[in-house]
Structure formats: C-alpha cells, structure tokens
Chain A
Amino acid sequence: MVGNEAQTPLKSKNVSYERILNRYGWGFTFLALILLITFLFYPIIYSLYLSTMSSRGIVQKFVGLNNYLRLFNDQMFLIALKNTFTILIIQVPIMLFLALVLATILNDKSIKFRGVFRTGIFLPAVTSLVAYSVLFKMMFSLDGFINTSLINLHIIKEPVPWLLDPFWAKVTLIIAMTWRWTGYNMVFYLSGLQNIPYEIYESAEMDGANKIQQFFYITIPMLKPIIVFTTIMSTIGTLQLFDEPMNLSSGGVTASSIGPGNSLLTLSVYIYNLAFKYMPNFGYAAAVSYVIVFFAAILTVIQFKVAGEKN
C-alpha cells in the first residue's frame, strides 16, 4: 500500500547531487515531522508509559499492569464497554446496509432527480456532531416534535420516553448516528459503483436475475474493498464515540450520569470523565484508552481477515 515505487525520477549518476536531493526530502518533511513527533508519536508512547502509573493529583507511582487488572472489576468501565459495543454491533451494520441500498437505487440512471436525492441524503454529513446531537435532543424530548407528531398521527398513544429511558436513549442515539452518517457512507459506495461495468448487470438480467439477486450477487461482492474500508472507518469512529452521547444526554459535560442510568456512557466519555471530571487519574485514563487501541487493532485485523478469506 505504501508505494514501493522507490525509483527516483532522476537518472543522474551524480552521487553528491542525489545527496542534496535527499536533504531536500528531509527539508520538505521537516515541519510535519517535528509536529508529528511532538503531538502524535510522543503522546502515543507517553500514554503507554502513563498507563503503568497511578496518579492522584500530582503524586505518581509505578503500578505496572495494575491499571489494566483494575479494569475487570470497574463497573463503570464495564458499562462503558458494553454500551460502546452494543452501539457498534447494532448501528454500523444498519447504517452501512442502508447506505449500500441507497447507493444502488441512486446509481440507477432511470431515476429522475437522482442528483437532488444524492445531495439531500449527503447533507447531514455537513453538520457538526455537536449541532446535530443537540438538534436531535430537542426533537426527541418528551414533549418534543417527534412525540407530538407520532401522537398526532395516532401511531402511539403515550409519548415515548426517548431520552429518559436507558433502552430508548440508545435507540435515539442509533437513529441520530444513522441520520448523520448514512449519506456519508453512501458517497463512498456511489463512487465504487461507477467502476462496476454496466454490462455485468445487463447479462445478469438476461440470465433472469432479479434486482435483489443482482444486489447480493453482483453489487456486494464487487464493492467488497470499499465495504471493508467503510466498516473499518465506522468501527474506529464508533469506538471513539464522544460528541453524540455527551450532547444527547441532559446536563452535558457536568452531568453525573451520561444518559439515563449511564446508558450512553461510552469508552471515550469515560476516559474524559476519568481525566477531567473526577479527581484526575491520568494513569488509569491512559489504560482505558489503550483498551480502545487494542479493540481498534483487533477488529481491523478481523475485518481484513473476513474480507480476505472470501477472495
């Protein structure tokens, strides 16, 4: 992936000239490397070190793997882990499947105004995560727009306690995230669909395959690399979920519980709480953050493996 085409474009045999060019290579990358070392590499390594320390305020002491062992008995951590995975397992497949179906429909040249539809469905991806979370919080409040409309349409009799009940709070979060990200993923699939030759569909049609069969036997296999890519992106994104739960729950940053009964407490929110809200324990917070790194790595490898085997 990282281009191995390392032949220099220059055929100059002048060694000193090559050396000068090499210096330019470092020169051009210098600023970026300094910034990356300071604000990326150093923090990554430092947080690994930090995760072996216990820090209460300014007092720090080495505790080895104790922070990691402590995780297994930490109720809050287990809740955050469970919430994050529940959202991941339910939201990502729904969203990606929906995006795939929409992309397939909107790729059909016989549909009128498909440009308008594409733009409209992509539009939510333009909003900031905070803005749309707050918007959904208002729409899904107890006497809010959604409940009022559903009652007026006689779909429900009693208002649904969207953000007041642990179960419905997760449902709301999943609906909100699906609204925000489906169009975004659809764009990836649309650009992938451009590369599938139309003749494949034509010959499938002649062989008597209906649209649904075409979708499952042509579109999905042909788009597999992009599906894997979007799955990995969404997985990593969901593991880091922060803005939405924080802003959907009442009270925001200062709230004692993120969502009713901590039903919206995610790993990232928990790290934030550990480091910045409770009495700061940076060491333990760093350990929790490495749990995210661990799962991101494992899930990515698994997703690549699953995709690779079918090839």
Chain B
Amino acid sequence: MFIISVFPFYWMIVGMTNSAVDVIKGKMTFGNQLIHNFITLNTSYNLGRILLNSIKVSGLTVIGTLIVASMAAYGFEIYSSKSREIVYGIILLTMMVPFAALMVPLFRLIVELKLLNTHAGVILPSIASVFIIFFFRQSFKSFPKEIIEAARVDGASEIRTFFSIVVPSMKSTYAAAAIFSFTTSWNSYLWPLIVLQTDNQKTMTLLISNLSSAYFPEYGVIMTAIVIATLPTLIIFFALQKYFVQGMTGAVKQ
C-alpha cells in the first residue's frame, strides 16, 4: 500500500525529466529532458504568468479567509446571542449543499457583477468559507474568556482585544486554517474553469487540464507542470505536517 501511494510521486518526478515518448512507455529512470520540458512550458504556455495568477488567487483567498472567517467565528462564539445562534445553525446547514447546486446562479451573479474572467470573481465567493468559520469557532471555544474580560476591565477596545490579544495567541489555529485554505484554493478547478476564460487569467490546474486534453499531449511537459503544481502543497505538508493534518481533519476530533 505504501509503495502504491508513493510510487506515482516518483513516477511524476522521473517523468518530468523525460520526453513524451518515454513517459508514455513508462520509462522508470531519469532522462535529460528536464530543461527542454521546462523551456517549452515557459515559452509556449506562459508558465510565469500562470504561476503568478495561481499565487495571487490563493494568496488573497487565504488572507481574506483568515480575516473574515476568524472574525465571524469570534463574533459567534464570544458575543453569543440567541439570534446569532440561529444564523450560525443555518450557515452550518449549508455545508450540506453541494457546490454543483450553486454554480449556475453563482455564474449569473458573477456576470451581473461584471466579475467574469477576473480573479476577484474566483476569490470573493470562496472567502467566507463555512468550514473554516466552524473550525475557528471550535478553537475559540477553548480560549480562556477571563483574558478577554481582563482586557475589557483594562479598557482595551473589543477590536483591539481581538487583534492584539486573541489573534497572536492562536497562531497554530491560524496556521492550520491557512494551510487548509491554501490547498483548497490552489487545487480548485471547477469554479476557476467557469470564471476564468482567457489564457492570461488562468491558473495552474487549468493549465494542466488544458495540456492533457490537447490532441497530441506532450507528456513530459505535462509531468513538469504537475510537479510544479504539486510542489507548494508538498513542501507545506512536509514543513508543517502537524498543522496540515490538524487543518484537514479539523474540528472533528472528539
């Protein structure tokens, strides 16, 4: 099982260094086509631009999500009131609604707002992530309320309390949420596919999909693109494994 899980990773790294013919024949040793594949990707498919698009979309999504979702979770948890509990319940229920049910009206909305083919059109709908609001709220539950009260007694404003006392002391929660939000956004396909229509706006996942559906797919080039697209999440995973798994399994720990 371990070998089956890990082997495709080895294969894609080897594939990155091989020509199209060798990749498809299943050559298992390193070749000398890496530079060639990389240059093709860069000159024919504008790799730099597309990578930048991906970084921009994911980066802004993460920043937006962390601010908006953590503030909302804080609002729900610390200033709990009956009416907000009802709202929160409804929000949680929407986790059951699959994205497929949203995409048609969401597309029309994006057209109305003139956000079609813009990165904002991809970013805005994903900022208020219900799952991440839920994740943050679960963590705020264990935040000692006495500290907040003490800050109030000392005359600190509510907003200052949040930003200079609560946020800095919840670093690991923020890290886990950031990783989850980043991987989701970095890997997303369906929504960017609908919103981003011209080549200069596209992201890495769209590029890979395009490359592979070509009439004569250049397998070595595709492998190179796949490795480049996988590398950021892979690095984050190895560097911050603890937070990564925490972010993925999130609030279900019992």
- Across the interface, A47 reaches (CB within 8 A) one of B11, B104, B252, namely B104
- Report A-chain residues with C-beta under 8 Å of the C-beta of B248: 125, 184, 187
B35-87 residues with Cβ-Cβ distance < 8 A to A are: 67-69, 71-72, 74-76, 78-82, 84-85, 87
Q: Is the CB of B249 within 8 A of A191?
A: yes
Q: Is the CB of B213 within 8 A of A293?
A: no
Q: Indicate whether B200 reaches chain A with its CB closer than 8 angstroms.
A: no
Q: How far is the CB of B187 from chain A (nearest CB, A)?
A: 3
A9-B78 contact given A46-B105, A149-B26, A192-B254, CB 8 Å threshold: yes
Closest B residue to A184 by beta carbon equals: B248
Q: Is the CB of A131 within 8 A of B252?
A: no
A1-37 CB contact bits vs B (8 Å, 1 = yes)? 1111110111000000000011011111101110110
Q: Indicate whether A275 reaches chain B with its CB closer than 8 angstroms.
A: yes
- Report A-chain residues with C-beta under 8 Å of the C-beta of B187: 127-131
A129-145 residues with Cβ-Cβ distance < 8 A to B are: 129-132, 134-139, 141, 143-145
- The winner among B6, B213, B230 for most chain A CB atoms within 10 A is B213
Q: Is the CB of B212 within 8 A of A252?
A: yes
Closest A residue to B148 by beta carbon equals: A9
Q: How far is the CB of A28 from chain B (nearest CB, A)?
A: 3
Q: Indicate whether A87 reaches chain B with its CB closer than 8 angstroms.
A: no
Q: Indicate whether B172 reaches chain A with its CB closer than 8 angstroms.
A: no
Q: Is the CB of B109 within 8 A of A42?
A: yes
A2-B89 contact given A32-B68, A39-B124, A42-B105, CB 8 Å threshold: yes
- Report A-chain residues with C-beta under 8 Å of the C-beta of B156: none
Contact-residue size bin, chain A (C-beta under 8 Å from the other chain): 35 or more
Contact-residue size bin, chain B (C-beta under 8 Å from the other chain): 35 or more
A138-176 CB contact bits vs B (8 Å, 1 = yes)? 110101111011000000000000000000000000000
Q: Is the CB of A32 within 8 A of B193?
A: no
Q: Indicate whether A41 reaches chain B with its CB closer than 8 angstroms.
A: yes
Q: Indicate whether B234 reaches chain A with its CB closer than 8 angstroms.
A: yes
Which of A64-72, A197-205, A207-215, A236-244 forms contacts with chain B?
A236-244
Q: Is the CB of B97 within 8 A of A6?
A: no
- Report A-chain residues with C-beta under 8 Å of the C-beta of B209: 130, 134, 246-247, 252-253
- Report A-chain residues with C-beta under 8 Å of the C-beta of B133: 32
Q: Is the CB of A6 within 8 A of B1?
A: no
Q: Is the CB of A292 within 8 A of B101?
A: yes
A134-B212 contact given A124-B8, A128-B205, CB 8 Å threshold: yes
Q: Is the CB of A293 within 8 A of B101?
A: yes
In the bound assembly, the distance between CA atoms of A290 and B127 in angstroms comes to: 24
Closest A residue to B89 by beta carbon equals: A2
Closest B residue to A225 by beta carbon equals: B254
Q: Is the CB of A35 within 8 A of B128?
A: yes
Q: Is the CB of B97 within 8 A of A44?
A: yes
Q: Is the CB of A143 within 8 A of B2?
A: no
Q: How far is the CB of B208 from chain A (nearest CB, A)?
A: 5
- Across the interface, A35 reaches (CB within 8 A) one of B68, B79, B109, B229, namely B68
Q: Indicate whether B198 reaches chain A with its CB closer than 8 angstroms.
A: no
A250-B213 contact given A24-B75, A126-B233, A239-B98, CB 8 Å threshold: yes
Closest B residue to A152 by beta carbon equals: B26
Q: Indicate whether B239 reaches chain A with its CB closer than 8 angstroms.
A: no
Q: Is the CB of B24 within 8 A of A141?
A: yes
In the bound assembly, the distance between CA atoms of A210 and B4 in angstroms comes to: 28
Q: Indicate whether B165 reaches chain A with its CB closer than 8 angstroms.
A: no
Q: Is the CB of A144 within 8 A of B68?
A: no
Closest B residue to A241 by beta carbon equals: B100
In the bound assembly, the distance between CA atoms of A144 and B212 in angstroms comes to: 14
- Report A-chain residues with C-beta under 8 Å of the C-beta of B97: 44, 293, 296
Q: Indicate whether A77 reaches chain B with its CB closer than 8 angstroms.
A: no
Q: How far is the CB of B50 from chain A (nearest CB, A)?
A: 13
- Across the interface, B71 reaches (CB within 8 A) one of A28, A141, A183, A229, namely A28
- Across the interface, A296 reaches (CB within 8 A) one of B98, B145, B189, namely B98
Q: How far is the CB of A113 from chain B (nearest CB, A)?
A: 9
Closest B residue to A24 by beta carbon equals: B158
In the bound assembly, the distance between CA atoms of A50 and B80 in angstroms comes to: 35
23 CB-based A-B contacts, threshold 8 Å: A3-B85, A6-B81, A8-B80, A9-B78, A21-B79, A25-B78, A29-B75, A31-B68, A32-B71, A35-B127, A98-B1, A119-B241, A120-B2, A128-B230, A131-B205, A131-B226, A131-B230, A135-B8, A226-B252, A242-B190, A289-B100, A292-B98, A296-B98
Q: Which 9 A-B pairs have the closest CB atoms?
A: A252-B213, A28-B75, A25-B79, A145-B26, A128-B187, A32-B72, A35-B128, A29-B75, A43-B105
Given A5-B80, A138-B219, A253-B213, 5 new contacts (CB under 8 A): A24-B79, A29-B87, A31-B71, A138-B24, A240-B98
